[in-house]
């Protein structure tokens, strides 16, 4: 009962029991400054602060509660404190446990789950995956380890993704807002890459919509209390997007042609955007994506890109097509090399004919020559000199 009272005392004052220090037999007229100064002479205690003083009914003694800066090991701490001004030594008691009580693990587990917004029910799927016996303590330790790995991340990693732009669903798109297509791409990227909770993802989506779009989100929340962020995006796309099937998007992809003056790399990026939409809507299997990209690139490219395509040898590689990033990198390299060669061949040195022509001009200036005042003899002499 005495230990329980002491712990309750620490809790009321706001002192962690492992840092608590209790002095007995301290005179009632002792000055607090003298008490602290006497305690700080013991190096293992470190810095000490006075917290409270009261009469403990069980011992009928005055006790002083102090707080150490760090937890103190009872094995290294002295049992008594000798006052600097002399007198009877004060007995010292530390509440630092030598061994942690069994219930501390359950308390820590509950505090951890509460701080992360989880419950014991969230641990059940992890336990079912590993399928250990419920009485095995290793199962609980492994489960807590997996939970810590998923939840205990640095704050900068969880909140590093930038804020979504505003989308309202109003047509035409107001200034400062995003179109539905661009907004959906940003939101989907946030769902895939941002390492935060589902609740945080839903909050970010709600914060970025307004007007008619916000009304759609509100309707989803009212009708489906357990709706996920993906459900929000699907509802907005159904309400404001183009109602096309996967086959329609695939047909639009197959109809794309390279524009006049458009670089092949720019045409490839346009193809990739349309191809992604077709795959997302189910118009094309994901494993056929690379082959369809190369086929349409060869089919829709303009005649001005034929030489570049021949250099890439895409027809020979159709059975083992490159990925989008590999193909884009190869095309960019060839385009840059063509620009470099074109710049080198277009530069040449221009030399002006000097010599006799310059001599003639100087000779005419020296003689103050005028064709209207001179005879044909002078002209013949001059031109014969020039022509050598």
Supply the Cα-derived Rg of the chain in whole angstroms. 42
pLDDT tens, position by position, 148-204: 666 655 544 445 567 888 999 888 888 888 888 889 888 888 888 887 888 889 999
How much is the pLDDT for 346? 64
Q: Which residue has the higher pLDDT, 99 or 84?
A: 84
Long-range CB contact pairs, 69-74, < 8 A, 24+: 69/19, 70/19, 70/46, 71/16, 71/18, 71/19, 71/96, 72/19, 72/21, 72/44, 72/45, 72/46, 72/96, 73/44, 74/98
Q: Are residues 23 and 57 in the same domain?
A: yes
How much is the pLDDT for 101? 47
Give me the percent of the chain exceeding a pLDDT of 90.
17
How much is the pLDDT for 357? 57
The answer to whether residues 30 and 38 touch, using CB atoms and an 8 Å cutoff, is: no
pLDDT over 60 (residue 383): no
Domain count across the chain: 5
- Read off the pLDDT band of 373 (50, 70, 90): very low
How much is the pLDDT for 125? 66
Q: Which residue has the higher pLDDT, 114 or 342?
A: 342
pLDDT over 60 (residue 370): no
Has residue 326 been placed in a domain? Answer: yes
Has residue 349 been placed in a domain? Answer: no
Q: Are residues 230 and 265 in the same domain?
A: no
- Read off the pLDDT band of 107 (50, 70, 90): confident
User: Which of 145-149, 150-154, 222-226 has the largest mean confidence?
Assistant: 222-226
DSSP 8-state code for residue 209: B
Q: Are residues 143 and 183 in the same domain?
A: no
The answer to whether residues 40 and 67 touch, using CB atoms and an 8 Å cutoff, is: no
Q: Are residues 236 and 258 in the same domain?
A: no
pLDDT over 50 (residue 88): yes
pLDDT tens, position by position, 128-142: 655 544 455 676 777
Of the three residues 58, 79, 94, the one that is the final residue of a domain is: 94
The answer to whether residues 18 and 95 touch, using CB atoms and an 8 Å cutoff, is: yes
CA 263 to chain centre: 32
How much is the pLDDT for 372? 46
Residue pointed to by tokens 């590993």? 130
Has residue 371 been placed in a domain? Answer: yes
How much is the pLDDT for 158? 46
Q: Are residues 146 and 185 in the same domain?
A: no
Measured CA to CA, the distance from residue 368 to residue 363 in angstroms comes to: 8
Q: Are residues 86 and 11 in the same domain?
A: yes
Q: Are residues 169 and 239 in the same domain?
A: yes
Q: Which residue has the higher pLDDT, 121 or 354?
A: 121
Q: Which residue has the higher pLDDT, 85 or 331?
A: 331
pLDDT over 50 (residue 100): no
How much is the pLDDT for 299? 92
* CA dihedral sign, ordered 284, 287, 292, 297: positive
Average pLDDT of the chain to the nearest whole number: 78
- Read off the pLDDT band of 341 (50, 70, 90): confident
pLDDT over 90 (residue 71): no
Q: Are residues 202 and 123 in the same domain?
A: no
User: Which of 77-91, 228-242, 323-337 has the largest mean confidence?
Assistant: 323-337
Three-state DSSP class for 379? helix
Has residue 103 been placed in a domain? Answer: no
pLDDT over 90 (residue 295): yes
Of the three residues 108, 132, 152, the one that is the final residue of a domain is: 152
Has residue 132 been placed in a domain? Answer: yes
Has residue 351 been placed in a domain? Answer: no
Residue 54 lies in domain: 2-94
How much is the pLDDT for 369? 47
Q: Are residues 6 and 87 in the same domain?
A: yes
Has residue 342 been placed in a domain? Answer: no
| Average pLDDT of the segment spanning 323-336 | 92
How much is the pLDDT for 267? 93
> Residue 8 maps to which CATH number?
3.30.70
Measured CA to CA, the distance from residue 23 to residue 90 in angstroms comes to: 6
Assigned token pair, 163: 């804020």
Has residue 104 been placed in a domain? Answer: no
How much is the pLDDT for 132? 47
């Amino acid at each position: 009962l005495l230990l329980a009272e002491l712990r309750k005392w620490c809790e009321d004052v706001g002192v962690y029991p492992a840092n608590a220090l209790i002095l007995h037999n301290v005179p009632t007229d002792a000055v607090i400054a003298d008490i602290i100064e006497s305690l700080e002479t013991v190096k293992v205690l470190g810095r000490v602060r006075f917290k409270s003083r009261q009469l403990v009914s069980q011992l009928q003694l005055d006790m002083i509660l102090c707080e150490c800066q760090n937890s103190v090991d009872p094995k290294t701490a002295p049992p008594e404190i000798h006052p600097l001004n002399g007198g009877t030594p004060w007995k010292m008691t530390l509440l630092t446990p030598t061994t942690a009580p069994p219930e501390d693990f359950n308390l820590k587990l509950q505090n951890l789950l509460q701080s992360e917004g989880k419950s014991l029910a969230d641990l059940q799927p992890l336990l079912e995956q590993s399928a250990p016996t419920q009485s095995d303590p290793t199962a609980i330790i492994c489960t807590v380890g997996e939970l810590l790995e998923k939840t205990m991340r640095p704050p900068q990693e969880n909140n590093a993704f930038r804020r979504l732009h505003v989308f309202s669903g109003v047509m035409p798109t107001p200034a400062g807002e995003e179109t539905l297509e661009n907004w959906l791409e940003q939101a989907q990227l946030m769902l895939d890459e941002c390492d935060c909770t589902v609740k945080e993802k839903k909050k970010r989506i709600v914060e970025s919509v307004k007007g008619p779009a916000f009304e759609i989100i509100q309707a989803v929340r009212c009708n489906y209390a357990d709706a996920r962020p993906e459900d929000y995006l699907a509802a907005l796309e159904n309400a404001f997007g183009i109602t096309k099937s996967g086959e329609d998007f695939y047909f639009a992809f197959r109809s794309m042609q390279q524009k006049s003056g458009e670089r092949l790399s720019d045409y490839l990026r346009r193809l990739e955007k349309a191809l992604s939409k077709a795959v997302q809507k189910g118009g094309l299997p994901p494993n056929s994506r690379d082959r369809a990209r190369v086929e349409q690139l060869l089919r829709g490219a303009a005649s001005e890109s034929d030489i570049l395509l021949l250099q890439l040898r895409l027809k020979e590689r159709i059975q083992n097509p490159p990925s989008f990033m590999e193909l884009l990198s190869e095309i960019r390299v060839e385009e840059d090399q063509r620009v470099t060669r074109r710049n080198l061949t277009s530069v040449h040195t221009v030399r002006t004919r000097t010599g006799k022509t310059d001599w003639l001009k100087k000779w005419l200036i020296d003689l103050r020559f005028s064709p209207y005042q001179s005879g044909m003899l002078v002209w013949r002499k001059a031109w014969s000199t020039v022509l050598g």
